[in-house]
Chains A and B, each alone.
Chain A
């Protein structure tokens, strides 16, 4: 009793503080608010969600059993199956799931104002994203660390397994095309940024050689050394941008796209130790450090948000991307609230490291809450900017006009005052030639981050350094995703084609490596090329397509989870996975319908193609029409595949619930854990 009462008071206090913060961000209008309200609303919601909802899910739906040995204990081989401390697994899992998505999505969604995105990031994470990661992790732990596609095949059927395979392949290709476009848009015409990012390639190679030949196994030391070299490269970039060599590093979007495609192919075909592994270490080092610094900076400096709670673009006429709040805010936020890609990590490395079943709650639910908080920080970084500046950076020339004067006039006519002189001054402060039309989210995030830090540390004198540090951080993230994604896609292709012709399935056969790498790079390279040639900036097409494929993969993951829940006889609690599943079906199918069939050419692929056909112009028109039709085809194929999984799942649920099929899940048999009696 004496210990319970203070806890009850504490949790009531946390809940009230969260409610007050949410009410403040929801009802305050017409004045700027402190970013701390968003931070408090998010942290209190995650705390209450973790303490109560995840505990409910753990006890009632999943019945976590601390006595049951995990695969890490039973199959311990010291290599991939290793019983590991829960904090270590948490860090490992978080480092694997945190990518550029939660930084970019919220920045783009900020065109609706800070309110819709913030609410979805918090609510979506608590009830959907964290739940998905948690249940998939636990179900994989109970099946010896099986992958999502294996679980789909065993629990739903062969169609489920095949569809999961194609959905993963599609999401990888679209993701890589979208993120490569973000890098291109961040680096075009920027000698400073291009030099810094180009320098990370020899730095990574140097790290690889140092690690293999000079200091074998000293990864932390090598990563710290690499980080120092990257910092030097940022200062080097400043010098280059002001020197006669600036022209050597000033490239147009098509040249940068070709360079990234060549890089992606080389990274996929080179030995892992030489480029991929050291870049991965460097990226993780920078990622963990920068996220921590940003969190400390926001809490310490408490910047004010200048973006209104809601903008006029909630009606779907937004310049950053077209489409109304429902469904486009949800598919744009994507990874910050729920990410299908996480289900691959939760059924990949992580389940093989879990020491006790009970720890899946902290690792699965907790790490996603942390990722969601990264998305809140990105939302803050975007919303501390004056709205006029935000739209000047994120709106494409095709919407606001190609010249600074035209863009400033268009944006000011929307009620968001900005002048070309103001933008020129800002560009000068961050060391860029221009900040107009820098679509993709990365430059806006970088300007926001630089704005937050320059408010206290170094003022405008250091703003350029902060900006290029943020650009380097995001581009490093993205190039690591490109390296790893191209390789994973290549392996999947080799596995798949190996069924047709055996030699191509040999992962060490060089002709197969080159051919499959070229196919994967060509696929995402095509989307990248289409993006840079898109008069609407590319992001208007690519990011929604990525969001749809990502959320469709989450739909597949939640189908697998719901099927397991139904088959395990816990139908009373099926709403835990069924509720987010229904929501995701509604969001993704509506978004897909709009992206394909909406009569507004800025939203619908087919109406845009029809508009281009009617215009009858020459040049690139035929290719733009083909791209629109291809995007529509890809969207339809993805939806049809997911409908097949849904249909197969529904039939399986009906068979089990009607008693026509015995409810049986394919869990590994119970073995008592030797860690059962030990203190957690």
Chain B
């Protein structure tokens, strides 16, 4: 019972972190690195920003 609770808590926390990573675009950056076969670096992040900014700039924030 306790083990199951621990497992559920771990799963819940991991889902929460996954959601936060997606909301804060870390997931998108990780996919970008994977698809380009790049390692995390200043240049890689600058390249990612150049590509993602076009979409971000047009993303409305709701009222």
Contacts and interface: CB of A to CB of B under 8 A. Distances in A.
A488 B58 contact: yes
A491 B58 contact: yes
Interface in A278-313: 280-281, 284-285, 288
Q: Is the interface of A mostly helix, strand, loop or mixed?
A: helix
Interface string A85-118: 1011011100111111100000000000000000
Contact of B22 (A84, A100, A334, A341): A84
A220 interface: yes
- Could you say which interface size class chain A belongs to? 35 or more
A218 B30 CA distance: 11
B22 A216 contact: no
B63 A488 contact: no
A624 B32 CA distance: 53
Given A85-B15, A273-B49, 11 more contacts: A78-B35, A82-B28, A95-B23, A101-B62, A217-B40, A223-B24, A335-B62, A342-B62, A344-B60, A481-B63, A488-B60
Contacts of B56: 272, 276-277, 280
A335 B62 CA distance: 9
Given A220-B20, A273-B49, A96 B61 contact: yes
Contacts of A660: none
Interface in B6-57: 15, 18-32, 34-35, 40-42, 44-46, 48-49, 51-53, 55-57
A99 B61 contact: yes
Interface string A241-272: 00000000000000000000000000000001
A212 B45 contact: yes
B25 A219 contact: yes
A480 interface: yes
Given A101-B63, A216-B45, A491 B22 contact: no
Most A C-beta atoms less than 10 A away, residue of B18, B24, B41: B24
Given A212-B45, A217-B40, A98 B62 contact: yes
A216 B25 contact: no
Contacts of A349: 59
Given A78-B32, A212-B45, A491-B57, A91 B22 contact: yes
A80 interface: yes
B3 to A, nearest CB: 22
Give 3 nearest A-B pairs by CB, closest first: A216-B45, A91-B19, A484-B61
Contacts of B30: 217
A666 B40 CA distance: 42
A487 interface: yes
Nearest to B17: A220
14 contacts: A79-B55, A88-B23, A88-B27, A91-B20, A92-B23, A96-B59, A212-B42, A213-B42, A216-B41, A272-B57, A341-B60, A345-B60, A345-B62, A480-B61
Contacts, number: 132
B20 A485 contact: no
Contacts of B61: 96, 99, 280, 480-481, 483-485
Contact of B49 (A88, A175, A212, A485): A212
Contact of B18 (A88, A175, A480, A481): A88
A22 B23 CA distance: 35
A79 B32 contact: yes
A420 B35 CA distance: 64
Interface in A157-192: 172, 175, 179
A439 interface: no
A284 B23 contact: yes
A88 B31 CA distance: 15
B4 to A, nearest CB: 18
A348 interface: yes
A563 interface: no
B29 to A, nearest CB: 5
A339 interface: yes
Contact of B63 (A92, A99, A273, A276): A99
A99 B22 contact: no
A550 interface: yes
Contacts of A220: 20-21, 24, 26
A281 B59 contact: no
Nearest to B50: A273
B63 to A, nearest CB: 4
Nearest to B35: A78
Interface in A624-652: none
Contacts of A288: 23
Nearest to A179: B63
A80 B45 CA distance: 17
B53 A272 contact: yes
A280 B60 CA distance: 11
